[in-house]
Structure 1
Amino acid sequence: MRNFVLTAAFVFAGLAMTAHAAETDVHVDSPIGPLAGSLVQPAQGPTKAAVVILPGSGPTDRNGDNPMGVKGGPYRQLANALAEQGIASVRVDKRGMFGSRHEGFNPNNTTIDAYADDTHAWAKYLATTTKQRCVWLLGHSEGVLVAEIAAQKPQGICGLILISGAGRKAADILIEQLKANPANAPFLPQVLPVIEDLRQGKRVDASKIPPPFLPLFKEDVQPYIINWFQKDPVALLKAYKGPVLVVQGDNDLQINMTDAHALAGSRPGVELKVIPGMNHVLRRPAEGQGANIASYGDTSMPLAPGLVDVIAGFIASARP
């Protein structure tokens, strides 16, 4: 594991304040250069706990937004709501992206394991800043897997809060999704061997990849995919002995209750909470797939009712 050095100073230019929370732009050092995040602390009263919020897959920023349609900052909303409960947090930009972008570094040239290294840097920073003995890791979507990997070295980690996370290996989920779409049928004889080679740790020449799937399996991202395919979320969670909360919405179009039950069943003591009506971006839209998809880009929609109370309640009851 790489060693990280905390930066000595905060960047106060980004300071923001609400009635319940004070937000500051902060950084930690990494092998590629400083990584950027936003620290939110309760504006009044003592800090009861601290949480590192780990983002979902692809170009998802520290606020939970991404250029593919998610807007409204669900992670920012979550951080502010937790501050109202006396819980500090830091939400982060992944290495190579957004505030953590550095010239000459390809953000595809990374791995899930590298994200876990970065998580430890953020956890150490947050514990020091908030004077907490340990901090909680809150992963959303892909961030669930990052949290599970980071927790294999549990020093300084209070426990895990896993929201909308996969309970199966990524290659298995990808194959299932491809087979479920009839439009993919003509390409499956070519695509499935590509997935199998990557599962086996083998790079695949672009000439063997059907053109519609080149963006998904492009050569510069294959090391990331190979590393990702190796991870078993259930086995990782089984190996971690600290407190774990699995949170799943029953209106999630991307992750379903099968995954939540797989994670919760990984070992005794893992707690599962289902948030009625919550979708993958932590909101409760109106019924119907159209409304669900539309909610991804709705900047005015609040977090799903009950989500923050479930998280804060778990932290209060399981706090070491």
Structure 2
Amino acid sequence: MFQRRTALTAVLTTTALLVPTAAEATPRPVPALDREVVFTVEGTKTYGTLHVPAHRRGQRLPAALLPPGSGPTDRDGNQPPAVTPHTLSHLAAALGRQGIVTLRFDKYGSGRTGLGAYASRPGDLDHPAFVRQAAAAYRLLRAEPVTDPRALVVAGHSEGALTGLLPADEVRPRPAGVVLLQPQAIRLLDLIARQLHAQPAAAARGGQITPEQQRVNDEGVDRAVSALRSGEPLDPTGPLPVIAQFFQALSDGPSRRFVLSNDQVDPSTAAGRLRAGTRVLLTCGTADVQVPCDTTAPLAEALRRAGAAGPGRTVLTGVDHNLRGTDPNTLTPAVVDALRAFTDGLR
């Protein structure tokens, strides 16, 4: 009898050792981290930052690619030393708090990436090169073991929204969602012309130029845009001197190829190629003088016709182009709330 009890006790003890406790059954948490990544695109090493929020070991997380905006904008959304709104680093932090992995990178001409293979021929750099760079970054994000391939999104700001939108119907798997934050919503030269009409109009209202000077300038701006698109020589008469100089520099400078290739893209047409059911957030800010809200209306309509899912267009009252409200050092809460409404639908 004693031997049987001893044997039974040994069996129960062994069984207890084989069954994990509740604490042992729960995967160990992995702390949040930032990791520098490098990927090569057409001979150029591109440098970026992968942010992984805290998560359970073995957990797959939604992930967002953050293409940079216009100009030599780096992975943080800055053009140092003069322009440092930290738009993309703030965006990565906000998404990280919502449990979203993010990848942001130094585009051509910025940060550690620099011009790379284009250093000796900057005039050859066109908009499709930036699109290919973003597509390569998307593939890197997809390959990360922590990301959920069913919940990959592209979240671009300004020009970066268009850059991220273009490969959305080509990469695999296709993005589950697209975030267009204060996006370039109309053709580039149309947007430039709009801005170059608005500035003299404000000067005319303030009495700095006459209404006739404004009219002549507006006609000259429209002629300059038409000449750039058709490859004809620019007419220096008409636009105000500073605006005429701007167009001449655009025509003769190294950015000509980029501007004309970007201008060939109609954002509404690109949006129409999205797969039906793709989740989309489109924002505009009432304090955004670079991308006024009314320019986003055709894009919103194209998304509706394409069968995009919500939350759709969100108007952000008092928000500027860099997603700021009253506090210039962070994203405004309205932006964070709009992002949360979008990301909640990914889970």
TM-score bracket, normalised by the shorter chain, equals: 0.7 to 0.9
Identify which range, 248-257 or 137-146, moves more after superposition: 248-257
Q: Does 1:276 align with 2:317?
A: yes
- The answer to whether structure 1 residue 151 and structure 2 residue 168 are counterparts is yes
Quote how far apart the aligned CAs of 1:107 are: 4.6
| CA distance, structure 1, for counterparts of residue 284 and residue 267 of structure 2 | 15
Q: For residues 163 and 279 of structure 1, do their structure 2 counterparts lie closer, same or farther at Cα, with a shift above 3 Å needed?
A: same
Give yes or no for the alignment of 1:310 onto 2:335.
no
Looking at structure 1, the residues matched to 72 and 331 of structure 2 have their Cα atoms a distance apart, in angstroms, of 21
Q: Counterpart of 2:63 in 1: which secondary structure?
A: strand
What is the CA–CA distance in structure 1 between the aligned matches of 2:218 and 2:296, rounded to whole Å? 28
Counterpart mapping for 1:47-58 below 5 A:
47-58=60-71
Question: What CA deviation, in whole Å up to 9, does each residue of 1:194-240 have, x standing for no partner?
Answer: 3213323x275899994344333333221111111111011110121
Residue of structure 2 aligned with 1:249, choices 263, 285, 298 = 285
**CA distance in structure 1 between the aligned counterparts of 2:191 and 2:45, rounded to whole angstroms:** 33
Instruction: Give the length in aligned residue pairs.
Output: 287
Pairwise CA distance, 1:244: 1.7
Q: Could you say which residue in structure 2 is the equivalent of 1:176?
A: 194
Please list every run of 5 or more consecutive structure 1 residues that lacks an aligned counterpart in the other structure: 1-18, 287-294, 296-300
Q: Quick one: distance in 1 between partners of 2:222 and 2:344?
A: 46
Change (3 A) 1:65 1:254: same
Letter in structure 2 aligned against 1:233: P
Quote the sequence identity (%): 26
Picking from 97, 103, 109, the partner of 1:90 is: 103
Contact 1:59 1:97 survives alignment (8 Å): yes
TM-score by length of 1: 0.80
- Partner AA of 1:35 in structure 2: T
Question: Is the 2:193–2:221 Cα contact (8 Å) retained in structure 1?
Answer: no
User: Cα distance 1:96–1:203, how it changes in 2: closer, same or farther (>3 A)?
Assistant: farther
Question: Is the Cα–Cα contact under 8 Å of residues 65 and 102 in structure 2 kept in the other structure?
Answer: yes
Counterpart of 2:259 in structure 1 is 225
Q: Which residue of 2 is the match for residue 26 of structure 1?
A: 37
Matched, 1:133 2:169: no
Partner-residue secondary structure (3-state), 2:70: coil
Partner of 2:184: 166
Show structure 2 runs of 5+ residues with no match. 1-29, 201-208, 238-242
Distance 1:235 1:72, change over 3 A: closer
Does structure 1 retain, via aligned residues, the 8 Å contact 2:131–2:163? yes
One-letter code aligned to 1:224: F
Poorly superposed stretches of 4+, deviation over 4 Å: 105-108, 183-191, 203-209
Change in Cα spacing, 1:171 to 1:149, as seen in structure 2 (3 Å) is: same
Question: Could you say if the C-alpha distance between residues 256 and 47 of structure 1 is closer, same or farther in structure 2, counting changes exceeding 3 Å?
Answer: farther
Corresponding position: 1:116 with 2:131: yes
Contact 1:59-1:67 at 8 Å conserved across structures: no
State the alpha-carbon separation in 2 of the partners of residues 37 and 203 from structure 1: 40
* 2-structure distance, mates of 1:121, 1:203: 36
Deviation at 1:167, TM superposition (A): 2.4
Among candidates 258, 273, 283, match of residue 294 of structure 2: 258
Q: Tell me, in whole angstroms, the C-alpha distance in 1 between the residues paired with 2:61 and 2:280.
A: 18
Superposed displacement of residue 111, structure 1: 1.8
Q: What whole-Å deviation, never above 9, does each CA across 1:76-126 have from its counterpart, x for those lacking one?
A: 111122112110001111123221113734555322221111111111101
Q: In the alignment, does 2:89 pair up with 1:71?
A: no
What corresponds to 1:3 in structure 2?
none
Preserved contact between residue 61 and residue 93 of structure 1 (Cα < 8 Å): yes
Relative to total residues, which structure has the larger helix share, 1 or 2? 2
Three-state SS of the structure 2 residue aligned to 1:285 is: coil
Deviations 1:41-91 (A, max 9, x none): 013344531001011101211101114743241211111221121100011
Query: Deviation at 1:166?
Result: 2.7
Q: State the superposition RMSD in angstroms.
A: 2.8
> Which of structures 1 and 2 has the bigger CA Rg?
2
Q: Quick one: which amino acid aligns to residue 280 of structure 2?
A: V
CA contact (8 A) 2:107 2:113 kept: yes
Alpha-carbon shift at residue 39 of structure 1 (Å) = 0.7
Per-residue CA distance 1:130-167 (angstroms, 9 max, x = gap):
34215211110001111221113142222210000132
State the alpha-carbon separation in 2 of the partners of residues 171 and 246 from structure 1. 21
